[in-house]
Amino acid sequence: MHPQYQKIASSPLGVSSDAYIYSAIPIEPPHKFLAISSDDSLSIFEVDSQTIKPISIKSNHHKGLTCIQTFTTPSGSQAYVTAGRDGHIRAFSWPNHSQLWDLTTPNGKSISALATHPSPDGLLLAAGTEHADEGLGDVAVYVWTLHPTAAPTLVRSYTESHTDTVTALHFAPAGAPRLLSASTDGLLHCFDLAAADEDDAVLVTFNNRAAVHHACLLTNDMVCAVGHDERVSFYSVREEPELGEAETKPGPWDLRALLGCDYAASVRPGAGGDSVIVAVGANKLETAVVPWVGLCTFRVGLELLKAPPEPRFEGEMWMRLEGAHGEEVVRGVCYDYAQEGQLRIVLTCGEDGTVGMWRPVEGAAVERREKSKKDKDKGDKAHRFKPY
């Protein structure tokens, strides 16, 4: 059994009628949010118990808007940073939207991934680029330091580690200055940012054997990745396998077979450093009578990082939103917790060009759907859903 959620409101936020809404993030929780869309617009909106209220929209925010992150300035105020295929990374204060700085990648490379992390000196900012078929050095990961009283400084350029578009960047949550990068070339690298030389900086490389679309560091030593084949895998940074010889610990697990879904929308570290929350969805008639999107927690015991591996899956679909965005793919799921641990609000962003708001129905619960044999056998390439 899991809590039942009801769609309370939906809004296009003023974006173009043919636009996708990629993601929404809280900027002043629990009421104010930012969203980015495929028409290059940045939307600012707020929610209450029953409605989604668009506040403003910035058109042509980038030429090819791809990423958005929030961060806290050295003075303690909120700010946000956006990036795009125009090679620009721009930061703005909140709530007056004054531009704080404008960076460009070397040679104006298109940006496909972005990450921020507080540091003793201010802020670390990482950007990954798109594949432009220009040979070695075409795809890169760049890292800047942002000091309270000085201009941003480019401190690391990793130009030889990936050969295809960088899809995810994630800083280690604490301790050592580590950065995880993932790519459609199937590789995941964990960089030691203290090392200037790229060869020295690569602590470990994992071959996921499939293009990676979502990845994160659960701890300084544990990596979670989801590939285009919708399989979730875990890796230990403490292992140092040869390239192509990495062992998954545990998994990989096919999310489609386990959960009866079509695609994964996002991954996010869970509490405690031994779990990850995966957002998955289904919108095909052969998979789901009613389209849905849900959240599942994979809990991985730390003992699984020891050799020999002891695969053990502890997953539970603990939130399911029936109806989702109809036949359209859900691109992003944004949620926060009430004090008692229950989700108090869930926002979904879809390729139908709307943001949906969901709240739990008091006292209501629905049973987890058992997977049919058709779900369990579903692995044929013809049935794989590729929303990317």
pLDDT in tens, 192-233: 999 999 999 999 999 999 999 999 998 888 899 999 999 999
| pLDDT tens track for 364-383 | 655 544 443 334 343 343 33
Q: Which residue has the tokens 């003992």?
A: 303
What CATH number matches the domain at 62-248, 2.130.10.10, 1.10.150.130, 3.40.50.1580, 3.40.309.10? 2.130.10.10
Question: Which residue type is seen at 71?
Answer: F
| pLDDT confidence of residue 364 | 60
* Torsion 351-3-318-46 (CA) sign: positive
Do 297 and 275 contact (CB within 8 A), yes or no? yes
- Name the average pLDDT for the chain: 84
Confidence of residue 318 (pLDDT cuts 50, 70, 90): confident
Is pLDDT above 70 for 1?
no
| pLDDT confidence of residue 343 | 65
| pLDDT tens track for 14-51 | 999 999 999 999 999 888 999 999 999 999 999 998 99
Residues 130/206/275/342 CA torsion (nearest 10 deg): 10
Do 161 and 187 contact (CB within 8 A), yes or no? yes
Expressed in angstroms, the distance from the first to the final Cα of the chain is 32
For the ranges 75-79, 172-176, 357-361, which has the lowest average pLDDT?
Answer: 172-176
Work out the average pLDDT over 104-133. 92
**Separation of alpha carbons 82 and 111, rounded Å:** 10
Do 178 and 192 contact (CB within 8 A), yes or no? yes
3-class DSSP state of 351: coil
| pLDDT tens track for 119-173 | 887 889 999 999 987 665 689 999 999 887 778 899 999 999 999 999 999 999 8
| pLDDT confidence of residue 288 | 72
Closest CA to 206 of 168, 171, 254, 240: 240
Residues, the chain = 388
Closest CA to 123 of 153, 96, 95, 102: 153
Cβ-in-10-Å burial (0-12, 13-18, 19+) of 10 comes to middle
Residue spans of the domains in the chain: they are: 1-19+255-383, 62-248
Is pLDDT above 90 for 66?
yes
| pLDDT confidence of residue 85 | 95
Closest CA to 350 of 366, 371, 329: 329
**Separation of alpha carbons 333 and 22, rounded Å:** 10
Rg (CA), the chain: 20
Is pLDDT above 90 for 275?
no
| pLDDT confidence of residue 310 | 39
Residues 6+ apart with CB under 8 A from 271: none
